[in-house]
Copies of this chain bind each other. A is one copy, B any other.
Amino acid sequence: MGVMSADRIPPHPDVRAVPLQRVLEALADPVRRSIVTQLCDTAADLKCGGFDIPVSNSTATHHFRILREAGLIRQYYVGTSRMNALRRDEFDDVFPGLLDAVVSADRRSSRPDATA
């Protein structure tokens, strides 16, 4: 008995209404930061199962919800897959420079770093 695929996703917040506290809590978790970084690097939307993260399925759902409520990602369904998109521009408007600084530093942290 189908519900339309539209409202299968909980509402996305207006980024301007998201407290900095929520944003920093979201970005302070390594798994979530990895999700954001992967979205940045891919420069394309990814389904939940398309990420390389070391947690169970239900834990992943939890992390995606936190990111969504922090205004960092937008989710929408394609068939049975939930897609995730970075809300780059909207987010940068409200928190200028933050995403860049975090993602840049995170990339450096995650790489082996072979600099002499």
**Number of copies of this protein chain within its complex:** 2
Q: Which residues of B contact A109 (CB under 8 A)?
A: 19-21
Which chain A residues numbered 8 to 45 have a C-beta less than 8 Å away from chain B? Answer: 19-21, 23-25, 27-28, 30, 33
Question: Which residue of chain B has its CB nearest to the CB of A24?
Answer: B28
**Given A97-B101, A98-B101, A101-B97, A106 and B27 touching (CB < 8 A)?**
no
Tell me the smallest distance from the CB of A46 to a CB of chain B, in Å: 22
Tell me the smallest distance from the CB of A69 to a CB of chain B, in Å: 15
**A96 B102 Cβ-Cβ under 8 A:** no
Q: Which residues of B contact A102 (CB under 8 A)?
A: 20, 24, 98
**A101 B96 Cβ-Cβ under 8 A:** yes
